[in-house]
Amino acid sequence: MESVHLGTQGTLWAWTIQGFAPKSPPYLGPVADGQFEPYGVGYVVLPGELKVEARLTIADPKELQEGMAMRLTTVPLQTDEAGDRVVTFAFEPMETVNA
């Protein structure tokens, strides 16, 4: 294996909305007492590199569109036992879609 630096921008290829809490573990986000919030999951094509599956910052399918430009960011996931904020990677639209 070797480390490879990937681009941080691409285009949305396909997506879905995770509407129920995944099994824990390995999922680390909140699931108990109604804390779970649906989130988008999609495939983003990094030009000339590969297609990656990633969390999306948008959970409304009307705001997502095939081929839309996306960029990598981070979003809050949980607060750990020490009280530190844990973040995860996600892709966000570079422009909003008019629904």
Residues 93, 63: contact at Cβ < 8 Å? yes
Which of the four pLDDT bands, split at 50, 70 and 90, describes residue 96? low
Please write the tens of the pLDDT for every residue from 80-91: 889 898 899 999
Sign of CA dihedral 31, 11, 52, 8: negative
For the entire predicted model, the pTM comes to 0.82
Please write the tens of the pLDDT for every residue from 6-62: 999 999 999 999 988 777 666 667 665 567 889 999 999 999 999 999 999 999 999
Which of the four pLDDT bands, split at 50, 70 and 90, describes residue 92? very high
DSSP H or E segment with residue 52: strand 50-56
65-89 exposure pattern, b = at least 16 Cβ within 10 A, e = fewer: eeebebebeeeebbeeeeeeeeeee
